[in-house]
Every structure is written in structure tokens, then in C-alpha cells.
């Protein structure tokens, strides 16, 4: 099985604090994630002054001010922080990345050596943005929250028409409610996307807990993206739907275990680890009374007991009516050399 790319989504959970951003990198590295990813944007380029917060943002920020612009302005990741955070990530053995929400941010991320671009759900219908990313000719990962198949097809077409090969595209099934109710996950839609577009697929998760991303890997996700935080009690739009450090660690561990569980050749046979248990767990045909050489074995002479180092009970019909060629003590395991 291909190793799943696990993206630990720090997003805006740094709350505009550089030290928090470093703590998030520490957490992602300690959990064993492949990539720690932030969000890069200029608030004024992302929303206008009339844009309102989403319902979950109003609820999670604990702030009656419904201006999305003001909220996002406080959550910007300054360009100058990226250099230090990238170096810090590399020192911790984890790749640094960010989602650029506007063309300037995308260009900046390219300039610092980012090798892939993540298209967030909200930009799926932003044609100029899609065209700009496609022209970079790098790996593209697309979240599809709120989208239907036609909108996904349109986005893929824009990318391909600008020269990006389908082999460089991974589509993530996603739901953009924070947190996503389990009844709305619709995880089988990931398989529909794979079948419909013949692309690599994955899952960007906003549910509470770790069960759904693990299930997604079992279904064939090649990329998992999951929000995490220092603490769900921190103020901010995404903290309540994010994993805390130990949960992130457990998710990564569980995904790696699922990969091992799916790594077999698919042939049903005794595994290397269980061969030693065959003799112990299975049973053999035993003789349940003292018998002498020359006696004919009847059904009443037989019992079925462990260990499985004698004649298999599957051969009981063959054994009944056979003649003993030696004396057999009660409760002895019958061997083929004992009969003729």
C-alpha cells in the first residue's frame, strides 16, 4: 500500500502569535505527521468589508463582531514569519507548507520553495486563481467542500486546460462545516470522485475525533488533512473542530497501523506469525479407549481433541473402518502410521 501523506493542518490556529506557530510545529512533528501546513493570505485580498463570519465562526470566536475581515486580519501569517517557521520545521524533521488564498500568496510560497499547492474548498470556483496555480505546473491538492461533481469537473478542466497533467492532481473529499456532523460526512463520495475522474483521492476532515480519517485510509485515501490545535479551549474560528496534541498523535499512529494491515498480498493463508499456533489451536482425531492391534476403529472409539499434530478431524470418514496396526492407549492422538 502507498504510504498516506498526512497533513497536520495548523491553519490559523496560531492566533497571530509566532510562538504559537512554533508550538504547532512541535506538536505536528512529535505526532509523526509528514507536513505541517498553515494558511497564507492578505485579509484585504480574501474578503471585502461587508463579508460576514460563518455561523461556526461566530460561535467559535466568542465575539459578537460579525466582520470576517477583522477576524482574518488578526489571523494573518506575515510573509517574514514563513522563513523562520520553515527553517524551524526542517530542524524538527517535518516539511513546512501553507495554503495560499490569493495569487500574491501563491507566488510567495513558490518563491520559498513549496513543492505543491493546496486549493482550499472556497477557491474551487475561482477560475483566475485556478489558472494561476496550474501555470506553476506543480502537484496540486484540491479540497472539495460544498462542491458537486460538476463543479469539481469544471475545476479539473481549468487546471488541465492550463497545461497541468491529471497525474499531478489529488482531489480531497471534504465537508466545510466545523465540526462536520457524522451524518453529513458521506465518505463514500470519495470513491465516487475517484471513479468519476480517475484521479488520486484523499480526505480533508472536519469531524470531531479521529475515526473518519482512519476509515478514509482504509477506503483508499492517499492524503489525509486534519486540523489540530494546542488546545480546543483557545479562542478562534477553528480550534473547537481541531485535534489536540495527543489525539493527533493517535490519529497518525492509527493510520500507519491501517497501512500495515492493508499491506498484505491479499492471498488468504496462514501468516508467518500464526503458523506456530496451528498445532496448538487445531484438533486431531484421538482414540478414547485402550485398543489393540487389529481392531477396527468405529465412531464410538473416536474423540476430537487438541493438539493438531495428528490426523485432521476432516478425515474422520476415512478413519472409521480402518484397522489398527499397533496397540493404542486411551486418549492418544492417532497418526497415519497407526492404521492401515
Pick the closest to residue 139 from 178, 95, 176, 83 (CA basis). Answer: 95
How many structural domains compose the chain? Answer: 2
pLDDT for residue 173 is more than 70:
yes
Cis peptide before 307 (omega within 30 of 0): yes
Q: Do 41 and 190 fall into the same domain?
A: yes
Q: Residue 266: inside a domain, yes or no?
A: no
Which phi and psi (to 5°) does residue 94 adopt?
-135, 145
Express the helix, strand and coil content of the chain in percent, nearest 5 each: 40, 20, 40
| CA 6/CA 16 separation, integer angstroms | 24
pLDDT digits (tens, 9 = 90+) for 218-264: 999 999 999 999 999 999 889 999 999 999 999 999 999 999 999 99
| CA 313/CA 310 separation, integer angstroms | 9
Which phi and psi (to 5°) does residue 294 adopt?
95, -15
Which residue segment(s) compose the domain that 235 sits in?
5-261
Q: Do 13 and 149 fall into the same domain?
A: yes
Q: Do 143 and 230 fall into the same domain?
A: yes
pLDDT of 301 reads: 98
Residue 220 near residue 213, CB atoms below 8 Å? no
Q: Residue 269: inside a domain, yes or no?
A: no
pLDDT digits (tens, 9 = 90+) for 315-325: 999 999 999 99
Mean pLDDT value across the chain: 95
Q: Do 48 and 108 fall into the same domain?
A: yes
Burial (Cβ within 10 Å: 0-12, 13-18, ≥19) of residue 83: exposed
210, 234, 261 — which closes off a domain?
Answer: 261
Mean pLDDT of 92-117: 97
Mean pLDDT of 22-37: 98
pLDDT of 95 reads: 98
Q: Do 217 and 313 fall into the same domain?
A: no
Q: To which residue does cell 508467518 refer? A: 272
Burial (Cβ within 10 Å: 0-12, 13-18, ≥19) of residue 288: middle
Question: What is the number of residues in the chain?
Answer: 340
Q: Do 256 and 281 fall into the same domain?
A: no
pLDDT digits (tens, 9 = 90+) for 188-197: 999 999 999 9
Determine how β-strand 169-174 pairs with β-strand 200-205.
Answer: parallel
pLDDT of 107 reads: 98
Q: Residue 267: inside a domain, yes or no?
A: no
SS3 258: helix
Q: Do 282 and 257 fall into the same domain?
A: no
261, 291, 326 — which closes off a domain?
Answer: 261
pLDDT of 62 reads: 59
Q: Residue 137: inside a domain, yes or no?
A: yes
SS3 186: coil
Cis peptide before 179 (omega within 30 of 0): yes
Burial (Cβ within 10 Å: 0-12, 13-18, ≥19) of residue 235: exposed
pLDDT of 47 reads: 86
Q: Do 195 and 326 fall into the same domain?
A: no
Q: Residue 268: inside a domain, yes or no?
A: no
pLDDT digits (tens, 9 = 90+) for 49-81: 787 766 666 666 656 566 788 888 889 999 999
Q: Do 246 and 194 fall into the same domain?
A: yes
pLDDT of 260 reads: 96
pLDDT of 45 reads: 85
pLDDT of 227 reads: 98
Q: Residue 270: inside a domain, yes or no?
A: no
Q: Residue 148: inside a domain, yes or no?
A: yes
Residue 60 near residue 232, CB atoms below 8 Å? no
pLDDT of 38 reads: 98
**Helix residue spans in 40-199 (DSSP H):** 43-46, 55-61, 68-73, 79-91, 103-111, 127-134, 149-161, 188-197
pLDDT of 66 reads: 64
pLDDT digits (tens, 9 = 90+) for 119-161: 999 999 999 999 999 999 999 999 999 999 999 999 999 999 9
Residue 174 near residue 145, CB atoms below 8 Å? yes
CATH code, domain carrying 309: 3.90.1210.10
Q: Do 168 and 313 fall into the same domain?
A: no
CATH code, domain carrying 93: 3.20.20.70
Rg for the chain (alpha carbons), in Å? 30
pLDDT digits (tens, 9 = 90+) for 263-314: 999 999 999 999 999 999 999 999 999 999 999 999 999 999 999 999 999 9
Q: Do 184 and 331 fall into the same domain?
A: no
261, 288, 319 — which closes off a domain?
Answer: 261
The three cell numbers locating residue 56: 461556526
Q: Residue 127: inside a domain, yes or no?
A: yes
Q: Do 118 and 255 fall into the same domain?
A: yes
Amino acid at each position: 500500500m502507498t504510504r498516506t501523506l498526512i497533513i497536520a493542518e495548523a491553519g490559523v490556529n496560531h492566533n497571530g502569535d509566532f510562538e504559537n506557530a512554533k508550538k504547532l510545529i512541535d506538536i505536528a512533528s512529535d505526532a509523526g505527521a509528514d507536513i505541517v501546513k498553515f494558511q497564507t493570505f492578505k485579509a484585504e485580498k480574501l474578503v471585502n468589508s461587508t463579508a460576514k463570519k460563518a455561523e461556526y465562526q461566530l460561535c467559535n470566536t466568542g465575539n459578537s463582531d460579525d466582520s470576517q475581515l477583522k477576524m482574518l486580519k488578526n489571523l494573518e501569517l506575515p510573509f517574514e514569519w514563513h522563513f523562520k517557521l520553515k527553517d524551524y520545521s526542517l530542524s524538527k524533521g517535518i516539511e513546512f507548507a501553507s495554503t495560499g488564498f490569493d495569487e500574491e500568496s501563491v507566488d510567495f510560497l513558490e518563491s520559498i520553495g513549496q513543492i505543491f499547492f493546496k486549493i482550499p474548498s472556497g477557491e474551487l470556483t475561482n477560475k483566475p486563481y485556478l489558472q494561476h496555480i496550474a501555470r506553476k505546473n506543480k502537484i496540486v491538492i484540491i479540497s472539495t467542500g460544498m462542491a458537486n461533481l460538476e463543479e469539481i469537473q469544471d475545476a479539473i478542466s481549468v487546471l488541465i486546460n492550463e497545461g497541468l497533467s491529471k497525474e499531478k492532481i489529488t482531489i480531497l473529499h471534504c465537508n466545510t462545516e466545523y465540526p462536520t456532523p457524522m451524518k453529513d460526512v458521506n465518505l463514500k463520495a470519495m470513491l465516487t470522485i475517484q471513479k468519476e475522474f480517475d484521479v488520486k483521492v484523499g480526505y480533508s476532515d472536519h469531524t470531531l475525533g479521529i475515526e473518519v480519517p482512519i476509515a478514509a485510509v482504509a477506503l483508499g485515501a492517499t492524503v489525509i488533512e486534519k486540523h489540530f490545535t494546542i488546545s480546543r479551549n483557545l479562542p478562534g474560528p477553528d480550534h473547537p473542530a481541531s485535534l489536540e496534541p495527543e489525539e493527533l498523535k493517535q490519529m497518525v499512529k492509527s493510520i500507519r497501523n491501517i497501512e500495515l494491515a492493508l499491506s498484505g498480498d491479499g492471498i488468504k493463508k496462514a501468516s508467518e506469525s500464526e503458523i506456530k499456533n496451528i498445532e496448538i489451536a487445531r484438533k486431531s482425531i484421538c482414540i478414547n479407549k485402550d485398543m489393540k492391534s487389529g481392531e477396527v476403529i468405529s465412531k464410538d472409539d473416536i474423540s476430537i481433541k487438541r493438539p493438531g499434530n495428528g490426523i485432521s478431524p476432516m478425515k474422520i470418514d476415512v478413519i472409521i473402518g480402518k484397522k489398527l496396526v499397533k496397540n493404542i492407549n486411551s486418549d492418544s492422538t492417532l497418526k497415519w502410521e497407526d492404521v492401515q
